[in-house]
Chains A and B, each alone.
Chain A
């Protein structure tokens, strides 16, 4: 029987295994030294905050693996021999494979700051990081978080839930401003302040100072300011974890290099998820490293088909992502850039509460919607995606916004206010809100 070995039991590795199992009886082994069972990485924060126990963040009950004949090995893979098709484990065991998937995920970025390896300084990515965080944040009063992104805001919420004072160091002029346009970034920044956290904008980390026990006691900013703290969270993003494949003959760049079928340069060896760098076949285009839960899941699904011999190119389709900034939910579909691009126009509406907003980006020429940012309102993913795919116009999207609303029942609707603003800004436009649901959107 063919043996598929998957290194990494995150969302990518597990999705690959599940989809292969759906269509094939091949032997499947999954190796991880992070946790015995698959857990939801995005839910680590909730364990720290006491919203859930470890048991609750496992997407499948423990009987699932045996029932689906997915063999789990809790050990560290230390090297790969692609000639003899073997993976060596740290317990001395050797696992032979017919096909191998590398789905080793990411490491937290550290940019060589002085003091970055002190006690009380860490990133947040793995189960081990979470355990270290428990240790590092015992009985502390204040923390500095370096990096204004999606992990940073989660770490801030976590620490805040334990009554620890949070101070952010953010390089951009507003929170996550490298991705979010000014208005949205300002909204998030305001919301951070609303929670009584400190936000130092336009500031970088210079160094971390130690106390006599070798533990972080303060950070020094690029402006020379010294900020006392007992903990430093480093959250300036992640990079592919390729430790295992170094010296294995498998080609690497930033990540494990793969083609659009997620194949590496070595036959029968594949890579996907955070650790993979997908080579672009368009001249001048950058290779893609995608480090989201969603892209990991999509890549795993495609990879399964390629392993089964049904060659399919990986195409992530219309981009989407979601997050939650403390109390404000965020969804984005399509492409919204931080700064306006040529040939595109923006329509932006913000509620008077300063916590709800909607941005539609559309092409100037055919007025087709290319992207949406939405905060504090839930939208129907598949419907909006189809609008972008079918190049529906901004006018169509606005008039049918009611159909795209996914907020719970009885929530206040803002669609009329949004349309009124558009009509006001675009003289001559007299859009009328369609209060009926579009037919066929639920089938």
Chain B
């Protein structure tokens, strides 16, 4: 028999060098962590800049090195091997440990900030450079958050290097986090202007339409303050419906939003832990719309009160707003939303609580061109799409019937289409006719 010689263009595989380099990366990450620990004691206060680089610097450098070196291990493609074996990603010991550490950090941040003072000092050099003032706990939080998004976006890009949708999306969320949620607010502070986040608006950042906030923005921000109010309102009234009509809610949730930014990067490790059951879907519909109603009611109460100079409701509405801030802002979006990533998956807040997601979801379902198309009869019901849906959508239940997926919760991350081994799913913006297709 005539044997054709075949030469591969490249051969991948494990080797000792690679193993060494991976360990080197992990060691660097470990040393970085160690310096965060050391900084907690306060010794860093004498050499802040040095300790800043030893902690943030080594952690970042080590992580980026560790994630990118793995490109050499195997050809590009979906490699979800061992996800349901590894303790971190399958809700075993390390996942719980990480959950406790993250939750603990939020508890300290919200209620015992003095314990973190030495870490706050650590970011002082950065804060002075960017904002011209000393750091506070929220700046520390922002620094951690932005670092996490960028490091994990690089991991995401390495993992999905064959998928340009994922690459561009990861760059987008990193950009919006860094520029809109970190640098621009910092510059505003340095200019003595109100600290404003241009990528958040009502109803997610509900305060931006509260009477007190508007008073504050106009009085301390001058013309810029008026622009901020106009921006926030225009984004909600004009941009939100228009962009959602054309692209679905993904333009915000998985491309711009900071909560989505963390979920799409760091949260990628835990997306498989979202609950896919019908029960969870039922709970989701009740809880997310309840929060939206709550925001609307709170905002209305505050305005009624403001219009009547506090005569109608007295301090009730203010109390209502503060209570909301605690329950929703701190407990829900922070502690459960991020702290419980390793247990419930990365989108608990976005799925069960976010009022912006609820609004976008209604628009997406009823007024948008967006849907996930199912490709003819090619589905093999393998379940990868559902498993890796961070929003807990049972994607395959649609795909195996040949039905397009139209769900208000879908953030359009595109991972279902990426992990599908049979080319069945595609995120598409198409004329609304034919959005609900025939099912066999």
Contact = CB atoms under 8 A, between A and B. Distances in A.
Given A173-B2, A202-B3, A327-B76, A43 B383 contact: yes
Interface string A311-342: 00000000010101011010100000000000
Given A196-B12, A327-B76, A51 B84 contact: yes
B21 to A, nearest CB: 18
Interface stretch (A106-114, A125-133, A408-416, A424-432): A408-416
Interface string A241-266: 00000000000000000000000000
Interface in B54-99: 74-78, 80-86
Contacts of B427: 408-409
Nearest to B394: A61
A197 to B, nearest CB: 9
Interface string B401-432: 00000000000001001100111001110110
Given A182-B4, A202-B3, A329-B421, A56 B386 contact: yes
B46 interface: no
A410 B84 contact: no
A41 to B, nearest CB: 9
Contacts of B277: 61
B377 interface: yes
A202 B387 contact: no
Contact of B165 (A196, A380, A410): A410
Interface size class, chain B: 35 or more
B75 A411 contact: no
A254 to B, nearest CB: 24
B380 A293 contact: yes
Contacts of A182: 4
Contact of A42 (B84, B382, B430): B382
A438 to B, nearest CB: 12
A326 B421 CA distance: 10
B6 interface: yes
Chain B interface helix/strand/loop/mixed: loop
A56 B83 CA distance: 13
Interface residues of A, number: 62
Contacts of A301: 440
A57 B6 contact: no
B11 interface: yes
Contact of B400 (A59, A199, A324, A329): A59
Nearest to A38: B381
A389 interface: no
A442 B76 contact: no
A180 interface: no
A408 B8 contact: no
B244 interface: no
Interface string A189-227: 111011110010110000000000000000000000000
Contact of B84 (A53, A297, A322, A407): A53
5 contacts: A163-B14, A196-B11, A297-B377, A408-B163, A409-B164
Given A408-B418, A443-B434, 17 more contacts: A40-B380, A40-B382, A43-B382, A46-B382, A50-B80, A52-B383, A182-B4, A186-B4, A191-B8, A194-B75, A202-B3, A294-B377, A379-B423, A406-B373, A408-B163, A408-B427, A409-B427
Interface of B: 1-4, 6-14, 74-78, 80-86, 162-165, 168, 277-278, 373, 375-378, 380-384, 386-387, 396-397, 400, 414, 417-418, 421-423, 426-428, 430-431, 433-434, 437, 440
| Pairs A-B, 10 closest by C-beta atoms | A381-B376, A327-B77, A196-B13, A378-B423, A43-B382, A443-B434, A193-B8, A410-B164, A59-B381, A50-B82
